[in-house]
Structure 1
Amino acid sequence: MNTPKIAAMVGLAASLFASSASVAAEFNFKLHHFLGPQTPSHLKTVAPWAEAIEEASNGRVDIEIYPSMSLGGTPPELVGQARDGVVDIVWTVNGYTAGLFPRTEVFELPFVHRNDPAATNLAMYDVFDAELRQEYQGLEVMFLHVHQGNGLHTVDKEVRMPADVEGLKIRTPSRTGAWTIEALGAAPVAMPVPSLPQALSKKTVDAAFVPFEIVPSLKLEQQTNYQIEGADQMRFGTLVFQMSMNKAKWDSLPEDIQQIFKDHSGREWLEQLGQVWIENDDEGIAQVVAAGNEHIVLDQAQTDAFEKALEPVITRWVDEATKSGIDGEALLQKARDAIAAHSE
C-alpha cells in the first residue's frame, strides 16, 4: 500500500477513534504495531510503556495505540510509516525490513544472544550511540529489545540433533533467522508471525523459529506437537524489536517531554522487559505441556552440536558486515563482551 493511501487511512482512523483525552492533551501520538491487542507483547510491553509516559506527563501526552496493523499497510512497512511521518511511533521487528539494520543484527545471532533478554537489551543500550544509531536515520529510537529467544516448534518432527532439521521448511521473520535455517540444511520461509498458524495447519511450513511467549495468542499448541530448546534455556538466536518515533516529531517536542520518554525507555525499563519476556515464555511452555505436546530440552552435548553447526552463521554475518564497510569482527566482540558483562 502506498504512503498517500496509508495516510488517508490514518486520518480516517484517527477521526473515528480519537478519544476525548487525546483531544485535551498537548502532545498526541499514534502508535502503530502488528500484533493483536490481547497478545503479551501488547499487554505487557507496548501498552504499559505508553501508559507510564502518559501518567508521568500529567495528561500532557496522549498515545493512541493501533494494534494489528489497523492503520493499514503490512508489518514490513512500519519502519517506513514512522520515517515518513504517516504515524508517530511504531513498535516492530527489525528483521521485517531485511538489510536496513545490519549492525544491530549482531545481537540476533545464535549463541551471541544467549538466554538472557535483559542482558542483550542492556548490551544494545550500551553500544547504541557509538555503534548502532547511524542505522536509524529518520527515526528517534525510544528503545531496542529482544525476546527470550527462538525455540523450534515442529508439526510432527522430533528434533534432538542438527541432522534432524535437514529438509524441513521453517518459518523465519529475519535474514539472520534464514541463515540459521540454511546452516541446518533446511529451507527458510519468510513471513510475519500473524501468518504462522495458517501456514502450519496447511503444511506450508513444517516448523517455526519463534519464542514460546507467542504460543497462547496464536494457539500454536494446536498446530504443533514438539517444542525444542537448548540446555539452560539456550535458544536458536533471537529477534530485535524497536520502539521508534518519527525524528521530526521528536525534534518538535520540548525538552521536558523528551525527558519523560527517555526516563521510561532506559536501563530500568530494559531490565524489566527482560524479565517480562522470560515470564511470557514460561507461560507459553506451560500451555504446550498442558496441551500434551512434548517439550524437548536438549542436553549439553546436543546443544553444543547445534552451536557448532551454527558457527557458519556468525562467519556469514561478519563477512556480510565487512563487505558493507562495517568492522564485523570488532562489533561482534563488542556485542559479546557487553552481553557477558550484563549476564554476570
Structure 2
Amino acid sequence: MNYLAMTGTLVSALSLSSMASAQEYTFRLHHLLSAQAPAHSQMLVPWAERVKELSGGRVDIEIFPAMTLGGAPPELISQVRDGVVDLVWTVNGYTPGLFPRSEVFELPFVYVNDPVATNLAMYDMFDEYLREEYQGVEVMFLHVHAGQGIHMVDDLIRTPADLEGMRMRIPTRTGAWIIEALGATPVAMPVPDLPQALQTGVVDGAFIPWEIIPPLRIQEQTEYQIEGFDRARFGTTTFQVSMNADRWAGLPEDIQAIFREASNREWWAHVGEIWRASDDFGINMAVNAGNTHVTLTEEETAAFQVALEPVVERWVAEVDGLGIDGAALVAAAREAIAANASDM
C-alpha cells in the first residue's frame, strides 16, 4: 500500500510538472466590449483557442473584456505599446491620426458592404501600404465590421437633407467627416456609452453596424435601422488585434509561426464572415422587437454617395499633407476590394 501511495504521488507530480511545462507562454489580451459581445465570444475566444491548439497547449491567451484591467478604450493602443498588456483588440479610430493609411478602408463607398473582401484587401496590401504605421506593435490581424448603418431614435432618414441638424454618434474621425458632410453634428464616444446617450437625448442617432444591437440593446432606444441599396453602408471602422512589439521580438520563431498560422489569410476572411453573420443576427433582433428596417432605393443611395464623395476628397488632401499618396491608396484599396469581392 505504501508503494502504491508513493507511485500515485509520483505520477501526480509528474503530471503536474508536464502540464506546467506544456503551458510555456501566457498572454493577456485586453479589449473594450463585454464578454457577451460577438467580438469576444465569436472572434477573440476562438482565435485564442486556435493559437492554443496549434501550439499544443504551450500558449495560453487570457482575455480581459470590458476594460477590466483598467483605463478607457482610447488608451488600449498605448497599453499594448507600453507593455502594460501583451495584446489588445481595439478600434483604430479611437486614436485619430495614428493610422492614416488604414483609414482608406473606412471611407464611404471605398468600403461599400463586404467585410470579407475588405479584410482580404487589407491582408494583401498590408506589407506594402500599411505596416509602417503600426510602430510599437506586431499586428496579428486587422478587420472591419459590416459597416455603418443609421440608427435613429424616432426620425426616419431617406435623404442626406433628413440628417441636417441632427446629433449623431460616430467613433472615428472619418466617420465625423461623414456626419459633417451630411449636415449633422458628430458626437464622439466609445460605443459602450451609446445607450445612455440615446436614452437621454445627447444624440439623435448613431452610425454603427447592426451587430452592436444585441449586446447594447439598441433596439430598445431606437425605432429605425437604415441602410443603402444592396446592403450599402456609410463607411466602416477598422480594428486591430496587436501584440506588444518587444514581447513579439522575444518569442522563439516556432511560437511566432504559430501566431502567424492562427492569423493567416483564411482567418482574416473568416473574421469578415463572423461580422457579417453577427450583423444579420443584430438586425433580425431589432425587427423582431418591432423596429423598422429601412433599405434605401438605388436612387436614394446614389444621393448619399454624391453627398459623401467630398469625404474621400478631404481624406486624400489630409494624407497628401503627410506625404502619403492618398489618391493612389484609394485606387489600390478599391481595386483590392473588388478583386476579393465575395458572393454575399
Pairs within 5 Å for 1:1-344 = 25-343=23-341
1:22–1:63 Cα contact (<8 Å) kept: no
Shift of residue 64 of structure 1? Answer: 0.5
Q: CA RMSD in A?
A: 1.3
**Aligned partners of 2:202 and 2:244: how far apart in 1?**
36
Give me the whole-angstrom Cα distance separating, in 1, the residues matched to 2:312 and 2:257: 37
> How much has 1:245 moved relative to structure 2?
0.2
1:6 maps to what in 2?
A: none
Classify the secondary structure of the residue corresponding to 1:86: coil
TM superposition score normalised by structure 1 = 0.93
Alignment partners' CA distance in 1, 2:260 and 2:212: 28
Cα distance, 1:262 vs structure 2: 0.6
CA distance, structure 2, for counterparts of residue 212 and residue 72 of structure 1 = 27
Aligned residues: 325
Indicate conservation of the 8 Å contact 1:22/1:64, yes or no: no
Letter in 2 for 1:113: Y
3-state DSSP of counterpart to 2:313: helix
Contact 1:154 1:227 in 2 (8 A): yes
CA distance in 2, matches of 1:76, 1:22: 35
Q: CA deviation at 1:264?
A: 1.2
How far apart, in 2, do the equivalents of 1:321 and 1:149 lie? 22
For the Cα contact (< 8 Å) 1:22–1:62, is it kept in 2?
no
For structure 2, the residue ranges without an aligned partner over 5 or more in a row are: 1-18
- Can you list the C-alpha shifts for 1:305-324, whole angstroms capped at 9, x where unaligned? 00000000000000001011
Q: Percent identity?
A: 61
Letter in 1 for 2:326: G
> Cα distance, 1:112 vs. partner?
0.3
Distance 1:206 1:302 in 2: 21
Structure number, greater radius of gyration = 2
Counterpart secondary structure, 1:343: coil
CA apart distance, 1:275: 1.2
Give me the whole-angstrom Cα distance separating, in 2, the residues matched to 1:275 and 1:43.
Answer: 14
Instruction: Determine if contact 1:151/1:210 at 8 Å carries over to the other structure.
Output: yes
**Shift in Å at residue 272 of structure 1?**
1.0
Indicate the SS of the match to 1:310: helix
Q: Please tell me the residue identity of whatever aligns with 1:317.
A: W
Query: How far apart, CA to CA, are the structure 1 residues paired with 2:265 and 2:24?
Result: 27
Distance 1:255 1:23 in 2: 18
CA–CA separation in structure 2 for the residues paired with 1:173 and 1:114: 18
TM-score normalised by structure 2 residue count: 0.93
In 1: Cα distance, 2:57 partner to 2:290 partner: 48
* Deviation, structure 1 residue 270: 1.2
Distance, in Å, in 1 between the alignment partners of 2:29 and 2:152 is 34
**C-alpha displacement of 1:33:** 0.3
What is the letter of the counterpart of residue 238 of structure 1? T
**TM-fit CA distance, 1:274:** 1.2
Deviations 1:178-210 (A, max 9, x none): 000000000000001000000000010000011
Task: Assess if the C-alpha contact under 8 Å between 1:149 and 1:238 holds in 2.
Answer: yes
Alpha-carbon deviation of 1:271? Answer: 1.2
Compute the displacement of 1:24 (Å): 6.2
Contact 1:148 1:281 in 2 (8 A): yes
